[in-house]
């Protein structure tokens, strides 16, 4: 049987682009330290600020007798980011890592260098669930400290979560990580750093479904008029959490 005929029975798949590297400028001094994953976090935080700023203009963050300011936004987001990063890193290293390394050497949890090569790697490994829990705790702490309605502010922030999630999954794809199961579908992709088997590019699935699509669902939901009662505050958070788990 000729090679051309055999090729008809060979599963089609996509190759992970060779030009993609975890670093934006691989091999370039200093600039080589900048990584796509870290850049995506910055994009996510900037997006969260822009979304909250728009909601602030619409009066969604105002309380009785008080109008929210940009200083409120900065401190609210900063507190959420700090707790988010702590939660994401702690969950990734102490909950999801099965090697037990971080339980024996907890100082490595926030150590940004490779223990073997001593090269700068940043905080490699973040957990969405840990970030969600940490960020939520951070927002609650801020609201309690500044005496702001927790449900109102958290609900406003929820709209930015799916957009931030899209950037996170782009970062995972650029790192060539968090791919899916082996597949024979023609859109399966070979990630060379793992093996030579075609796998579902699950990062891109989640980018579209749990990022873009979920954002528009929450956006339409938040834009829909609701009764002006406290019982309806906090429902966007419940909606986002429930939809994320439907996978």
Q: Over the chain (247 residues), what is each successive 10-residue block's mean pLDDT? A: 43 78 85 87 92 90 89 95 95 92 93 83 84 94 94 88 90 90 91 86 92 87 59 55 53
Specify the pLDDT at position 180: 92
Specify the pLDDT at position 160: 86
Specify the pLDDT at position 242: 55
Gap between the Cα atoms of 136 and 157, Å rounded: 10
Which H or E run includes 142?
Answer: helix 128-146
Gap between the Cα atoms of 126 and 36, Å rounded: 14
Specify the pLDDT at position 121: 77
Specify the pLDDT at position 7: 41
Gap between the Cα atoms of 92 and 75, Å rounded: 26
In a 3-state reduction of DSSP, which class is residue 41? helix
């Amino acid at each position: 049987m000729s090679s051309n005929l055999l090729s008809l029975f060979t599963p089609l798949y996509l190759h992970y682009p060779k030009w993609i590297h975890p670093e934006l400028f691989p091999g370039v001094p200093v600039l080589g330290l900048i990584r796509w994953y870290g850049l995506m976090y910055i994009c996510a935080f900037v997006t969260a600020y822009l979304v909250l700023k728009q909601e602030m203009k619409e009066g969604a963050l105002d309380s009785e007798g008080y109008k929210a300011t940009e200083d409120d936004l900065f401190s609210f987001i900063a507190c959420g980011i700090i707790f988010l990063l702590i939660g994401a890193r702690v969950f990734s290293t102490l909950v999801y890592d099965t090697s037990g390394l971080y339980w024996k050497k907890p100082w490595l949890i926030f150590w940004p260098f490779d223990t073997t090569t001593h090269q700068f790697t940043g905080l490699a490994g973040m957990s969405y669930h840990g970030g969600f829990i940490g960020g939520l705790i951070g927002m609650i702490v801020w609201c309690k400290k500044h005496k702001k309605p927790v449900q109102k502010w958290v609900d406003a922030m929820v709209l930015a979560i799916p957009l931030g999630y899209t950037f996170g999954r782009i970062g995972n794809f650029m790192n060539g990580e968090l791919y899916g199961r082996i597949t024979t579908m023609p859109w399966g992709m070979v990630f060379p750093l793992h093996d030579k088997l075609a796998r579902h590019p699950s990062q891109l699935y989640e980018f579209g479904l749990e990022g873009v699509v979920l954002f528009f669902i929450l956006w339409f939901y938040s834009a829909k008029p609701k009764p002006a009662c406290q019982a309806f505050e906090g429902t966007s958070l419940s909606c986002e959490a429930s939809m994320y788990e439907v996978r």
